[in-house]
Structure formats: C-alpha cells, structure tokens
A and B are shown apart, each in its own frame.
Chain A
Amino acid sequence: MKFAIQINSAPWESQGCETAYQFSRAAISLGHEIHRIFFYYEGAYNGLRWMAPPEEETPLLRRWSALATEQSVDLVICISAAQRRGLLEQTEAKRVGKLDDDLAFGFRIAGLGLWIDACLKADRFLVFGA
C-alpha cells in the first residue's frame, strides 16, 4: 500500500513525530511504500539543522536524515510554513539577504503542490501531531 504522511507538530511538542517515524519504518519494513513525508505547521521544525536537544533525548533529526538516505523517502518542508518560522535554505536565504543554511540533511523545501501530489498518488493519507 502507498502511504502519504503529513506531520504537523515540532519534535519537542508532541509524541506525533516519533510515532510518525516509527510508523514509517514499520510500514517500509513490511513492504509498504512511503514516497513522501510533508512537514506543515510547527512540523516544519523537524528539519531544523541546528537543533541540539539534550543527549538523553531521542535524536529524531538524525533518524529522519537516515530514513531519507536509506529508503529514499522525500522529506518535504512546506515553503510558506518554513519561511514564516525563519527556516531558510541557502538559496532562499541569499535571495532575502540572510546567511541562513538551516535545512538538515535529507530535507528539502517546496510548496503545497507536492503535498497534493502525494495525497493523490497514495492509497492512504495519514496526519500525525495534529
């Protein structure tokens, strides 16, 4: 089965991000497809490269990056959600005269069109951390 996933909360804000990660790993290991995960609302913070949580907390950021590399999952952060929160990738930062390079490895920034695209191609659409 093909899943599209949306994540709406920041990693520190709810259990939803961890649950979404565990779900994604489990689904892929059972042979399901997760082509894209779309980060919206506070979920945009999942791709913030400079997060430095205390060591005893789960390194969710590294896990997302690993998921993108190992399973070619497309991790997309909504561009308007990201900009509103000051999360800029290098090209956009340059355009607005800033020095940011905030995106963690494996993430990219794009519009809601990619969210729709994922919804339309999937058999099931799941929202985490709503």
Chain B
Amino acid sequence: MKNFLFVLRHPPHEGAGIRESLDMVMTVAAFDQSVRVLFLDDGVFLLKLGQCPHNPNLKPTSPLFAALEIYDVEGLWVEQESLAERGLGLANLILPVQTIRREEIAFFLATADIVVAC
C-alpha cells in the first residue's frame, strides 16, 4: 500500500479539472490505498459553503466532495493561511476538515509516497 497525497490548488469551475482530479482521488481510494487531500491557495474555495453556479452550463462541484466520505477518503486537510488570506474560516466550509499551518506543509508533503499536484 502506498500513501497518496493530492494537492488541490485551483478554484471550482476552472474547466473540468476538478472532476478529473477527483476521479483520480476516488480511483486511489477504490484501490484501497491511503489517500489524503490537501486544499491549498485558491483550492480552499472548492469547499466554500453557499456556492451558486448560476450559469446553467456549470454543474455544481461541491457535492462531489461529500461523496469522498463514501469512498473512505478521510484525510481532508486545509492550510490555515490559505483560508485566512481569503477571509474564510472553518465555519464557511461544507465539510469538517483538519487544518495545517504553512510552516508544516513541507513536512506534510514529505510524509507521502506519492504527491499529485492538481
């Protein structure tokens, strides 16, 4: 078993990227590997409460994250500074997450066998 860490740094609706990224996350989980997801920079907007993709061509992406639980993806991590710099706090997020400080990120990345930035 390998320890995968996905680093999501892009906001929702920047193309279909997030769907493709989550396909990878769920595939890894389906293969019984250890999976953590780290939300960094604008990636924290993926978890923001109250998203209203009014444009009918945009499918909401936040329900996809709720599905992660079904796939046993338990380690959802958010960088504290990324939240604070965007005026967000844990109460603004759709899911319970664990937080990590910027100074801990390098060590966090080093604990993974495979890091996938997407």
Interface size on B, residues (CB 8 A): 15
B61 at the interface (CB under 8 A from A): no
Q: Which residues of A contact B4 (CB under 8 A)?
A: 119
Pairwise interchain contact A119-B20, C-beta atoms closer than 8 A: no
- Residues of the A chain whose Cβ atoms lie less than 8 Å from the Cβ of B23: 80, 112
Residues of A close to B116: CB separation below 8 A: 6, 125, 127
Interface 0/1 of B105-118, CB less than 8 Å to A: 00000000010111
Given contacts A80-B20, A130-B117, contact A119 B2 (CB under 8 A): yes
Q: Is the interface of B mostly helix, strand, loop or mixed?
A: mixed
Interface string of A81-122 (1 = CB under 8 A from B): 100100000000000000000000000000111011001100
Which B residues are CB-close (under 8 A) to A119?
2, 4, 114
Given known A127-B117, A130-B118, contact A115–B2 (CB-CB < 8 A): no
Check B33 against A40 for contact (C-beta < 8 Å): no
A113 to B111, CA, bound (A): 24
Q: How many Å lie between the Cα of A40 and that of B24 in the bound state?
A: 10
Task: Encode contact with A along B1-28: 1 for CB under 8 Å, 0 otherwise.
Answer: 0101000000000001100100110011
Known: A80-B20, A84-B16. A112 touches B27 (CB 8 A): yes
Of residues B4, B20, B118, which shows the largest number of chain A Cβ atoms within 10 Å of its Cβ? B20
The chain B residue with its CB closest to the CB of A6 is B116
Binding site for A on B (CB under 8 A): 2, 4, 16-17, 20, 23-24, 27-28, 31, 33, 114, 116-118
**7 residue pairs bridging A and B, Cβ less than 8 Å apart:** A6-B116, A111-B27, A113-B31, A115-B24, A116-B31, A119-B114, A125-B114
